[in-house]
């Protein structure tokens, strides 16, 4: 996964866990909506592999499962800088 998407997804997850810990108001539906926004961007950017991965994360949210953190692909990071 490209580093930009991994950063966004992990920031969203961090906010989810922060809300869960401090207010008790975090829920998987809100998390799924935030992930859907990133999926929309991936779709229009033509990043199909990322879109598919995020769709899986959204489906987990629909089941009440909080996704694991995203990891960036090292080759994508190199491509971004060179």
Helix (H) / strand (E) containing 10: helix 3-22
Instruction: From residue 56, give the alpha-carbon distance in Å to each of 18, 23, 40, 73, 80.
Output: 23, 27, 14, 18, 25
- Kindly list the domain boundaries of the chain, sorted by start residue: 3-65
Residue 74 has a pLDDT of 57
Residue 77 has a pLDDT of 47
Query: Has this prediction a pTM greater than 0.85?
Result: no
The model's pLDDT over 11-64, given as tens digits with 9 standing for 90+, comes to 999 998 888 888 877 777 888 899 999 999 999 999 999 999 999 999 988 888
* Chain position carrying tokens 């229009």: 44
Closest to 9 measured CA to CA, from 73, 49, 62, 67: 67
């Amino acid at each position: 996964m490209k580093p930009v998407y991994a950063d966004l997804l992990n920031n969203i997850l961090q906010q989810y866990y922060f809300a869960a810990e401090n207010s008790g108001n975090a829920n998987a539906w809100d998390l799924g909506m935030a992930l859907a926004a990133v999926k929309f961007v991936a779709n229009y950017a033509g990043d199909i592999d990322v879109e598919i991965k995020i769709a899986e994360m959204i489906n987990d949210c629909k089941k009440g499962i909080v996704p694991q953190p995203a990891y960036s692909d090292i080759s994508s990071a190199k491509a971004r800088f060179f």
